[in-house]
Amino acid sequence: MSRDFIRINERIDELIFKGLVNAHIGKAKPSIPIKIEGVNAHARTHGITLEQAQSYVDMSEIMFDQDSRTMYLSNDGSATVLIENNRLISAYGRKDFDSAIMAILEVLDNE
């Protein structure tokens, strides 16, 4: 599915302006899946397996570059990896999404 990332970023900027999403989320762009090459200890704190995290990356349609890391977002979960070595540093299942991530998913559902 082709998405209008200019419009998506405009809508996310509106959420940031309203204080609903943290400005550090970064800019949304089409997902370019990678293979997760390792897992940092913090990434295990939410009970997500490497296989689950990899599926979030593989199924994502959107990603956010955030300085030295990239967050991949799918409907089922999110995975954040370090750019330099593709190590997983954080992963959440949908049940742990906060209101900011849910607002971003709503933007995606409506674009």
pLDDT digits (tens, 9 = 90+) for 21-54: 999 999 999 999 999 999 988 878 888 999 999 9
CB 60 within 8 A of CB 22: no
From CA 57, how far away is CA 94, in angstroms rounded? 13
Candidates 90, 104, 4; CA nearest to 39 is 90
Q: Which domain holds residue 36?
A: 5-110
End-to-end CA distance of the chain: 11
Mean pLDDT of the chain: 93
Number of structural domains in the chain: 1
Q: What is the mean pLDDT of residues 84-108?
A: 95
What confidence tier does 20 reach under pLDDT thresholds 50, 70, 90?
A: very high
Whole-model pTM: value is: 0.91
- pLDDT, position 41: 81
